[in-house]
């Protein structure tokens, strides 16, 4: 599976995650699936109610509102993103344990090296982690 994300969305996710430092930031990704390609149409920025640099929990009211909006636009929930303020861009043991949807894409933005953030996407199924292709593109 390949994830297509607009360059502008990446810039906004990066800015959002930097604003939330030292805590993890999180959100949902919605859009279309065509064959083996997921195209992100909208990023939903949600509050990390844990306010923690090591884990996150999305606000249930915000999640519900986002899902309602996603359905109203005829999109699908593609997955979620969160930041790792001081660790690499790979799922932690907690991330793996809490990955309940094998169809979701789990994107992690590492801010460990502030000058060189690393953004990756993963599929997590039954405790097995596989990296997906994450491709940024510019609008024409």
Question: Residues 82-114: pLDDT tens digits?
Answer: 999 999 999 999 999 999 999 999 999 999 999
Tokens for 45, please give them.
């920025």
CB atoms closer than 10 angstroms to residue 129: 14
Number of domains in the chain: 1
| Residue 139: pLDDT band with limits 50, 70, 90 | confident
| Residue 56: pLDDT band with limits 50, 70, 90 | very high
Q: CATH code at 69?
A: 3.40.140.10
Q: Cα(18)–Cα(1) distance, rounded to whole angstroms?
A: 28
| Residue 68: pLDDT band with limits 50, 70, 90 | very high
What average pLDDT does range 52-79 have in this prediction?
A: 97
Q: Cα(31)–Cα(77) distance, rounded to whole angstroms?
A: 7
Q: The domain containing residue 62 runs over which residues?
A: 2-137
Q: Cα(135)–Cα(7) distance, rounded to whole angstroms?
A: 9
Q: Cα(26)–Cα(20) distance, rounded to whole angstroms?
A: 9
pTM of the model: 0.96
Radius of gyration in angstroms for the set of CA atoms belonging to the chain, rounded to a whole number: 14
CA nearest to 132, candidates 22, 29, 24: 29
């Amino acid at each position: 599976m390949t994830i297509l994300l607009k360059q502008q969305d990446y810039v906004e996710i990066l800015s959002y995650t930097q604003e939330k430092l030292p805590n993890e930031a999180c959100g949902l990704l919605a859009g279309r699936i065509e064959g083996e390609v997921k195209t992100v149409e909208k990023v939903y920025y949600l509050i990390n109610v844990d306010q923690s640099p090591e884990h996150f929990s999305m606000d249930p009211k915000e999640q519900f509102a986002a899902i309602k909006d996603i359905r109203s636009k005829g999109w699908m929930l593609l997955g979620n993103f969160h930041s790792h303020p001081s660790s690499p861009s790979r799922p932690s043991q907690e991330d793996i344990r809490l990955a309940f949807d094998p169809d979701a894409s789990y994107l992690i933005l590492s801010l460990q090296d502030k000058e060189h953030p690393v953004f990756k996407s993963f599929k997590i199924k039954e405790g097995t982690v596989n990296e997906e292709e994450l491709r940024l593109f510019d609008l024409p």
